Amino acid sequence: MGEKGERSKVSRIQSHEELDVYKLAFEAAMRIFEVSKGFPREETYALTDQIRRSSRSVCSNIAEAWRKRRYQAAFVSKLNDAEAEAAETQTWLRFAIECGYLSKELGQELHQTYDYIIGKLVNMFSTRHHGYSAEMTLDLSPAPMLLRSLAPLHRMGVSDAHHHGQRGD
């Protein structure tokens, strides 16, 4: 028997920052920021900027979707944008691995994290499309966080191969 007014395992979300998918996307973007610090200088305006931009854009589109949640078309559009940015981030991760700037193991872990993010986004607009309330709820049960398995934020996983091709002049 519970007391009157006792909270269940589900409560209303007050901010986009409470969404598990936002938290995961933010952690992944910060991880990418940290590891991309080790990318070669010649990639500054190409791979480095692009992977940082797309990973951060996942978060910003989730935030925008949250603010537009009362308008189904706008909500779904922003979630689709977030999904597209997550897929773009996966493409840049693949380039980082193939160019030798990121270890295969870390690249695959981040890629899987973005697969999970995409799945959660698809669930959000799928649920919304099927008439779910504009007032979303937060499940307080433990959520799987793939990034918990990643090492603390540092340059682990950045290959020394990124020096390949750089001139010593």
Q: What is the pLDDT of residues 101-150, one digit of tens each?
A: 999 999 999 999 999 999 999 998 777 555 544 444 433 333 333 444 44
Buried/exposed code over 122-160 (b: 16+ C-beta within 10 A; e: otherwise): eebbeebeeeeeeebeeeeeeeeebbeebeeeeeebbbe
Architecture of domain 14-133: Up-down Bundle (1.20)
Mean pLDDT check: name the lowest of 32-36, 84-88, 150-154.
150-154
The residue-averaged pLDDT of 9-37 equals: 91
Kindly state the helix (H) or strand (E) to which residue 10 belongs, with its residue range: strand 10-12
Residue 164 pLDDT > 90: no
How high is the pLDDT of residue 128?
58
Q: Across-strand partners of 139?
A: 10
Q: How much is the mean pLDDT over the chain?
A: 79
